[in-house]
Amino acid sequence: MGIDAGTEGWLADTRTSYDTVAESYAEQTRNLLDKTPDERAVLALFTDLVHSAGGGPVADVGCGPGRITAHLSELGVDAFGIDLSPGMIEVARRDHPGLRFEVGSMTDLRLADASLAGLVAWYSLIHVPDDEIGLVLTHFRRVLRPGGPLLLGFHVGDESRLKTEGYGGHPMKVYVHRRQHGPMASWLEEAGFTVETHRTLSSAESALGGILLARRRPAAN
Q: Which residue from 200, 199, 161 is spatially nearest to 177, judged by alpha carbons? A: 161
**CA 218 to CA 147: how far, in whole Å?**
7
Question: For strand 118-122 and strand 57-61, is the pairing parallel, antiparallel, or unpaired?
Answer: parallel
Question: Average pLDDT in the 115-136 region?
Answer: 96
Which uninterrupted H or E stretch holds 103? strand 100-103
The per-residue pLDDT for 220 is 63
SS3 32: helix
Examine the pLDDT at 3 and tell me if it is beyond 60: no
pTM greater than the 0.95 cutoff: no
Give tens-digit pLDDT for 115-124.
999 999 999 9
The per-residue pLDDT for 221 is 47
The per-residue pLDDT for 165 is 76
Portion of the chain with pLDDT greater than 90, in percent: 82
Note the residue count of the chain: 221
Angstrom CA distances, 110 to 2, 24, 138, 142, 184, stand at 11, 28, 13, 11, 24
Question: Average pLDDT in the 16-20 region?
Answer: 93
H helical segments located in the chain: 5-29, 37-52, 67-74, 86-95, 130-143, 181-191
CATH code for 5-216? 3.40.50.150
Examine the pLDDT at 16 and tell me if it is beyond 50: yes
What residues does each domain of the chain span? 5-216
Whether residue 81 contacts residue 103, with contact meaning beta carbons closer than 8 Å, is answered with no
Give tens-digit pLDDT for 147-192.
999 999 999 999 999 988 777 777 789 889 999 999 999 999 999 9
